[in-house]
Structure formats: structure tokens, C-alpha cells
């Protein structure tokens, strides 16, 4: 489709909530930002955070007959995106969100998220996902997004544009060579990655 319509049209369909794309299109305050490849700046994330986020991502998109988010290194991807692309206020929501998620785990399952079983993690994140949906539905326009919404958006973006996600969960054809506008589809066929 036309380049200028690509993101905006999808945003339109979903009422401006293109998962993962919001941070790209929203205007942000200019600031001297830390960058993920700038070693002199104090890092936003601790060394262990990528592994922690990997487990959150894997709970959202688990390995099935195709690799999950952890195999796609989505945890590390999230740290890069939050560090480089998020405005400062959203970075804070995200970082605080990791703490809130840990507290919620202790409250619900009496243990840290990392020590929880896959079932316990899933039950917890389903609760938080519901909380995030309720919050997103009622929040004012200028309010920040819910931290779990951010995590989910980044997980989907990071996973489905990763090599395992695009080539194994979806179908990726680097050079289609032809275009057919109207072909048969049967339930179960995987979507094209772009």
C-alpha cells in the first residue's frame, strides 16, 4: 500500500492504538536521551532485567510448535526500545511497572515472578492484563499507558518482527517476486510477515 497510509490507516482502524507503533508516531519532548549504545550513561535497566522481561514476554507469547518470545530475545529488545525510543515519562511508567508486577506476584503467588511456575506467571499476567485493559478503556487521553500494555505491545512487535517470529510463527518471503491480489486462504494458514 501507499507508504504514507501504512501506519496511519492501521491506527485509524484501531482508534489510534497500533500496538508497538505508538512510540514511533507520537511527538516527544526533545531531551538529551540516554542511548542503549552509549556506555557512559547510567543504564536504565539492570543487567538481569532482560532475562526478567524475557520471562514476561514468554508468558505472553510462549513457545508452542514454534519458538516463543524468549528464543526471539524479546527481553533484550524491550530494554533497547524503552531506553532509546520511549520518552522519559513512559520510561518511568515502564520501570515502575516492573516493580509493580513483582509486588503483584508476591501478593498473588507469595513468590517472585522469576520463582513462579509457568502457570502461576500466566495467571498473574492475565489478572494484570485485565487491569491494563480496564485502565486503558477509562484513562484520559493525556494519561500514560498502562505499563503492561507497553510490555505487551513491545512483546508483539519484538516477537513478530524477530527472525524466529517472522519466519517460523509467521511466513516471511523476503522477495515475493510477484503479486496476487486475491488468493484462497484456509483456516490455519499463517499470516505473511512483512
Window 77 to 106, contacts with other proteins (CB under 8 A): 80-81, 84-87
The three-state secondary structure class of 86 is: coil
CA distance linking residue 94 with residue 150, whole number of Å: 7
Interacting stretch for other proteins, rule CB under 8 A, among 41-49, 97-105, 106-114, 182-190?
182-190
Q: Is 187 in the site for other proteins (CB under 8 A)?
A: yes
Give the shortest CB-10-to-other proteins separation in angstroms: 6
Q: Is 139 in the site for other proteins (CB under 8 A)?
A: no
CA distance linking residue 170 with residue 66, whole number of Å: 10
Are the CB atoms for 25 and 7 separated by under 8 Å? yes
CA distance linking residue 54 with residue 50, whole number of Å: 6
Q: Is 130 in the site for other proteins (CB under 8 A)?
A: yes
Interacting stretch for other proteins, rule CB under 8 A, among 45-53, 98-106, 109-117, 160-168?
160-168
Give the shortest CB-35-to-other proteins separation in angstroms: 6
CA distance linking residue 43 with residue 49, whole number of Å: 11
Amino acid at each position: 500500500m501507499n507508504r504514507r497510509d501504512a501506519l496511519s490507516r492501521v491506527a485509524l482502524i484501531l482508534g489510534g492504538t497500533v500496538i508497538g507503533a505508538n512510540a514511533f508516531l507520537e511527538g516527544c519532548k526533545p531531551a538529551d536521551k540516554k542511548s542503549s549504545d552509549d556506555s557512559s550513561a547510567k543504564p536504565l535497566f539492570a543487567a538481569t532485567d532482560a532475562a526478567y522481561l524475557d520471562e514476561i514476554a514468554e508468558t505472553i507469547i510462549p513457545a508452542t510448535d514454534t519458538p516463543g518470545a524468549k528464543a526471539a530475545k524479546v527481553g533484550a529488545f524491550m530494554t533497547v526500545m524503552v531506553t532509546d525510543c520511549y520518552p522519559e515519562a513512559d520510561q518511568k511508567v515502564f520501570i515502575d511497572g516492573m516493580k509493580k508486577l513483582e509486588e503483584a506476584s508476591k501478593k498473588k503467588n507469595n513468590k517472585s515472578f522469576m520463582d513462579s511456575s509457568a502457570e502461576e506467571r500466566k495467571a498473574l499476567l492475565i489478572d494484570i492484563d485485565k487491569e491494563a485493559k480496564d485502565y486503558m478503556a477509562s484513562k484520559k487521553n493525556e494519561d500514560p499507558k498502562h505499563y503492561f500494555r507497553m510490555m505487551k505491545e513491545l512483546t508483539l512487535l519484538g516477537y513478530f518482527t524477530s527472525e524466529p517470529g517472522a519466519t517460523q510463527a509467521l511466513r516471511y518471503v523476503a522477495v515475493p517476486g510477484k503479486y496476487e491480489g486475491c488468493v484462497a486462504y484456509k483456516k490455519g494458514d499463517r499470516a505473511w510477515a512483512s
